[in-house]
Structure 1
């Protein structure tokens, strides 16, 4: 039950565009039909000599989405939707799923995950609770439809691209790829590290470009597992700092206890501005511990970039 006709919702920027890039890279190889759903129409997206049309839909109206999915005989819907407003995000992703389930040709759906495991992190990171809501209806549909319907959550860990933020090279801005800037732990431009805990916990990191390639490869698997877990590398912050020192010189390292982070949050409610601090808390408490195997790495032929290779590329 491989994917052939794929719709990427929210694929005009962020991790969504990396997913589109990954699909376009193998479009000819697998004879894929790819469309990108967006709130507004724009020029086709092109990558690696292939392109995909961007089609405007109204995410507040599931029938608008359903019409496009039907017209294109889509069999796989990949959600990369995002919104700073929790209610908006849950509503538009729910509408996307409703539309997909009403189209007979759709047999695969992937919710917008692209983190460690939102179900494991939701208690520590309230913002991620918005991602959890979709899993109950997905599991219900899976139970009802059996082998005729599959879903998977793509779990990437943290994007290593953020460690190149502020890169001074002429093409340094390209290090982020399509991702928006997100200051996280390392500020190598200013040779600083703001580390949660003692820096000894291992973390999963994936380059956004690798994530796109991994996800494209997973669409060509005959069977999907409920979780698709991938990595470019898996190491501690202390190991990363040691690598970075060899490239940029001495780094001012600040270690933070759970009490330190709690004090920095203060009475502020969760928001995008302090999201990283809630992530720090979860890391210190061990919520980011990788307990499941990297089933994507074990199942597809993608050679990811290592952290050392990534840092060397942008900071050497």
Structure 2
């Protein structure tokens, strides 16, 4: 490492901080010691550490509360937190991990154990940071050529007129673009803020259908959107709604029988908005497994198996119930959204 690791140790007992400083001298780290959670948060707002060593039993703000505050903010929720506490019961340890801690060391300290665990978590932290940089660069390298291919295809359409081969290429490019967007969301969802806004669901669906025209044309599919609600409004983040709808549309298109129609219906249901997306397709063996991460019903169809797991996580975030109904010739994804 070119720069020294920067560690903040938080404990209301000065003696414990002295012991930690002595233990960590051998790992060549820069260590800041503070005696309260409030001081720690203020310091972290100024400069982010590579690791936080955090006591639990402190006055005014305990360690759990400090951890929760750090984990609630996208800019600090990646910082690894190791709890150091005299509490040795299972409930205290479980709560430490539930609020976001990566490790739990009991007092009195074992010098070798503390040093070894700190080294391990610093190494993991730097590895994750390097992977994050690599992924950012990779996304740029993927997104740029995809954009160029799309632009070139549009020019080719103007010159050569539309044909089956162009539609096939456009459909494949759109599939790759959707995979890219899912991967980007899956990686960034924990560190990005996703503010909500009111969105007209009917208009949103009509706009998103246009994105999938190449796949629809290639598979000779039609989309029909109907609603029995005037201006159905939902409050969500627009990026997350895109991921939710795009994955449901993409799934419906990929598995629909050729030359069939994908039906989208918005209707009222017990003071909720019901959204149903149906296609003509073969029966799904185990519908609820579709939401499992990396599960794929048919490995011959392009995809990573993360799209519908993303849909489920977004639905859970917004308290949207989602179910799958599949019989011999029709599969339906049924969502219920309650206006808040």
TM-score normalised by length of structure 2: 0.29
More helix per residue = 2
Task: Answer with 1 or 2: which has the greater Rg.
Answer: 2
- Structure with the bigger RCO (C-alpha within 8 Å, sep 6+) is 1
